[in-house]
Amino acid sequence: MTKLFKQLMPFILGCFFTLPAFTQSTAPVLKTTGSTLSPDRSKMLCKAWQLDTISEFGTDNKAEGKNAHDAITFGSDGSFFMTQDGTVMSGSWSCSGDRITVETVSPDKNKLNFQIISLSGNRLVLAYQFPAPDLTKVQYTYSPKKQE
């Protein structure tokens, strides 16, 4: 029995150490509801983005002044960080189809809903419609944030 055990021990240890490697997913884990983003789109979205342009009423305006340092980061773990008009927000995000819902960490837990207009490795365009009575729709164009 001991001889058999000694012969099987390398096999058992090999299984013990290699099995977890095959059970782990390589795709980012996203908090999602309904439809999920494909692994390729998840990889494109989940990074730090720097605001380039704000489009409102058909007019494009470069990010400058209080918007000069605005940015948004979607973490593959569902975390969210945003600087808007110089105000820092954080929280979590989820995705359903082309809709991203962000829930900020604050006493009132604000929810913001964005629509993905365009997403590629070097460009993200999100649309946001302000709540009533304003109902203004704004598009935010981002590029990948440069490492400092």
Task: Give the residue-averaged pLDDT of 64-90.
Answer: 92
The pLDDT assigned to 53 comes to 96
* Domain range list for the chain: 28-144
Q: How far apart are CA 7 and CA 106, in angstroms?
A: 59
* Residues 47-68: tens digit of each pLDDT: 999 999 999 988 999 999 999 9
23 pLDDT exceeds 50?
A: no
Asked whether the whole model's pTM tops 0.85, one would answer no
| Architecture (CATH level 2) of domain 28-144 | Beta Barrel (2.40)
How does DSSP assign the chain, residue by residue? -HHHHHHHHHHHHHHHHHHHHHHS--SPP--BSSS---HHHHHHHSSEEEEEEEEETTEEEES-GGGTT-EEEE-TTSEEEEEETTEEEEEEEEEETTEEEEEE-STT--EEEEEEEEEETTEEEEEEEPPTTT--EEEEEEEEPPP-
Note the pLDDT tens digit of each residue in 136-147: 899 999 999 987
- Across the range 86-114, mean pLDDT stands at 87
pLDDT at 133: 78
